[in-house]
Structure 1
C-alpha cells in the first residue's frame, strides 16, 4: 500500500485476514482501541509512519488467498461512488454494501447522540429561549430553514429505502448514525418552536430506523433505547402517529421475546396515542396488528381475531395511508400476520390458508423467511416431517442469504421446539443445522 488509512486497515482485518478487532490488534502489537479509532476515522485517518510499515509487513506475510481478498476488496471500494447530498438511491445502496457492522465505538457514539438529543428535546420553556443568541453561538452554522428541513427529510426517506433494499440491514447503520449527528447538531441551533418541533419529528423518524437496524441484529436493548428516544421526540413534536409507532416498535420487542403480558400495556398506550393522530394514516390499524400478536401469545383467540378484524379496516382507507419510512403498514402483511397468530394459537386449520396466501404474494425475501419458518412450525405441530424439514431448510437459506437477525431469531424459536422429535434422523439433521442460530442469538 502507498498509504494506509483506517479504511484499508479495516479491509485488511475483516476481509483479508478475517480477524476480530482484538486478534488483529494483538497481531499488530497495539491496543484494540487504537484499531477502533482507525476504523472509525475511515479514509480520513492515516496511521503513523511506523504503523504504516507494520501494516505493510502484515499484508506481505499474509497467505496468497488473503492478499487476493484484500486486493479485490480494495478495487471494489475504490469503484464505489462517494455519497453526496444529491446521491441517487443506487449509490447509497452501493456504499452501504461496503460498510461493516457497527462496533462498540460507533455504538457509544450513538449513545452520545441519544443523550444530547434527549436533553435538547426535553428543554423546558421553549418559548422563552433566546433563539437569536443560540444562532450566534452555533459557530457560524447556517440557519435551519424550511429548505434545510426539506433536505433533511428527503435524506431520511432515502435511508429508509436503503434499509428496505439492503440485503444485510446493519450495513445501513453508519449512514443513519452520520445523519443523526447532523440532525442533533441542527437541533442545537434550531430557531423557533416550529422548527424545533419539525426537527424533533425528523429525529423521531430516524431513531426508529436506528432501532429497526438494531432489532434486526438481535440487539434488543440498543433497539429499545432508540425507540424510547423516538417516542420522546415524537411526543415533543406533537406528532401522534410518530409517537405511536415508536411505542409500538418498543412493545414489539416484548412480543418477540414472548413477554406478552408486559407488552400489552404499552400497546394500549400506543393505541390511545394513535387515536389522536391522522385518521387518514394506517397507524391505529398497525397497532391492532401487533395487539393481535399479543392476544395470540396470551392464548385468547377471540381477542386476537377482533384485533385482526380491526386491522383489516385499513383496506377502507383511501389515498396515501402510510409513509415510505416509519409507517409502512398498508394491510398487505395481514395474511402473514394472521398466519403467525394462528400458529401461536396452534390453530392449524386457520393458519395454513393464511400462510399459503402470504407465500404466494409478492413479498420481500426477509418476510418470506418468516413465513417459511411459520409453515415449518405448523408442520411440527401437525407432526408432518416433510413440511417441517422442507420449509425450515428454505428458511435457513433465507437467513444465510440475508443475514437477518429477525429470521434467525424465529429459527431459534423453532429449534427449541424440536426436542420431542429427537432421535428422528431428519429432525436431528435439521436440529444440527439450526444450532448455529441458537448459539448466535442465545
Structure 2
C-alpha cells in the first residue's frame, strides 16, 4: 500500500491503530523527536503534508506492517475519513460497498459455487437489496489492493449494524455469497504479500460474521463450517486477533448447543483457553472480559460454581477497566458489544444453568433494562420468560414473552424464537395463551419456510 500524502489522519492511524504505540514509542522506532511527531499529528494536512525524509521514514514503517497491522491501518483510515453514528460509511470518492446490487454469478464464485448452491437458500436476496446491503466486492477484478481490504472490512461492519437492526436470519445467504466470492478472489487474483494477508484476514472476519448470522438463524452446521473457514484464514494470515475472535464465537455456539443437549461445554472450554493464550499479554480490556465471560458460561454448563464465580469476577473486573481506559470507538467493531449489560446478561444465564432460577430471573430484569440494543434486550427478555416457566409462573412468562414475539415479526432471529419454546409448550391449548401460541406458531412456520 502507498500513502500519497501523509496527513495527521494517516500518521495517527499508523501510530495508534496499526502499531498501537505512544508518540514516545514511535520516536524510538523512526528516530524523529516526539515534538516532531506531535506536530505531524496536529498540523499535517493535504495542503501541508509530511514530506522529505520524514515521509520516507513513515513509508518504510508502513511497508513493514504485518497483515493484521495493515488491516487495522486501513480500517482506521476508513473510519476517520467517513463516519456516521460511529460506523464507517462510503465516502464520496470511493464506495466501500457497490452502489447497485450485484449478485455473484456461479462463474464468479469459482470452486466455491457449490457452497452457495448446496448450503445456502437464496430466497432473501431481494429483501437484502431493499435494505441497501449490496455486494462488497466488484465482480470482475484481477488484482487486489488495500482499497479492496477496506471495502470488505466496511462491508463486515455494515452487516453487523444491519444484524442489530433486523436480525441475522435474513442476512445469512448474502453473507455466504460474499464470502465465497472473497475466497475465490484470494485464489485467483494477484496481490503483494501484505495486501494478500490483510485481505485473507478481512475475509476471515467476514466468515466469523457469516457464522454468527447462521448461528442466529439456527443453522448450526453452516455456522460450524463458516467458523472453520475463519480459523483457516486466521492461520493463513497469521492473525491472532482473528483466531481469538473465531474461537470465542465458536465457543459461544458450543455452549448454546450444550444447553440443547447436543454439544459439549468442554469443547467450548478448549476454544476459550486457546483464545486466552492468543491474547495473553494484551492490556486489560474488553477482549479479556469476553474471554472470561465465555469461560463463566461454559463453567456454568459444567456445573462448577467455584470456577463460574471466579471467571465472572474476572469478567466484571476487566469490564470495569475497559470502561475507564478503553474508549469504545477505539475497539474493533466485533468487540463493541462487550458492555456491562452484556456481562450482566450472561451472569443471569449462568445462575440459571446452575439451578438458581429465582436469582436468574431477577438478574435478567436488571440486565434487560441496561441494554442499549433493542435486539439484545429482546433476547434477554426471552430468556427471562423461559426461566419463569421453571418457577411455574406461566402468566408472567407469557406477559414477558409476548412483546418479544411481536418484535420478532420485524427482527428475524430464530435463535431468540427457540428460547421461547418452553413457554409455547407450557401454554398448550389454554385460552389465556391464544395470542402467544398463534404468534409463536406463525413465526415458526415462517422460519421453516425460509
Q: What TM-score results when the alignment is normalised by the length of structure 2?
A: 0.61
Deviation of 1:415 after TM superposition, in Å, equals 3.5
Partners of 1:85 and 1:227 in 2: CA distance: 34
Corresponding residue number in structure 1 for 2:221: 221
Structure 1 segment 351-390 matched on structure 2, within 5 A: 351-390=360-399
Higher RCO structure (Cα 8 Å, ≥6 apart): 2
Consecutive unaligned residues in structure 1, runs of 5 or more: 1-81, 100-104, 116-139
Corresponding residue number in structure 2 for 1:396: 405
Consecutive unaligned residues in structure 2, runs of 5 or more: 1-89, 104-108, 120-139
Number of aligned positions between the proteins: 325
Corresponding residue number in structure 1 for 2:288: 284
Partners of 1:189 and 1:356 in 2: CA distance: 51
Matched, 1:334 2:334: no
Corresponding residue number in structure 2 for 1:16: none
Deviation of 1:407 after TM superposition, in Å, equals 1.0
Corresponding residue number in structure 2 for 1:316: 321
Partners of 2:305 and 2:395 in 1: CA distance: 28
Q: 1:190 to 1:337 in 2, by over 3 A?
A: farther
Corresponding residue number in structure 1 for 2:13: none
Partners of 2:431 and 2:185 in 1: CA distance: 59
Q: Alpha carbon RMSD of aligned pairs, Å? A: 4.0
Q: 1:366 to 1:153 in 2, by over 3 A?
A: closer
3-state DSSP class of the match of 1:332?
A: helix
Partners of 2:286 and 2:431 in 1: CA distance: 47
Deviation of 1:323 after TM superposition, in Å, equals 1.6
Structure 1 segment 271-310 matched on structure 2, within 5 A: 271-277=273-279, 279-280=282-283, 282-310=286-314
Structure 1 segment 124-273 matched on structure 2, within 5 A: 141=141, 143-166=143-166, 169-171=169-171, 173-174=173-174, 177-178=177-178, 181-182=181-182, 184-257=184-257, 258=259, 259=261, 262-273=264-275
Deviation of 1:354 after TM superposition, in Å, equals 1.8
Corresponding residue number in structure 1 for 2:415: 406
Q: 1:291 to 1:261 in 2, by over 3 A?
A: farther
Q: What TM-score results when the alignment is normalised by the length of structure 1?
A: 0.62
Corresponding residue number in structure 2 for 1:121: none
3-state DSSP class of the match of 1:333?
A: helix
Deviation of 1:253 after TM superposition, in Å, equals 2.3
Q: Are the equivalent residues in 1 in contact too, given 2:286–2:335 (CA < 8 A)?
A: no
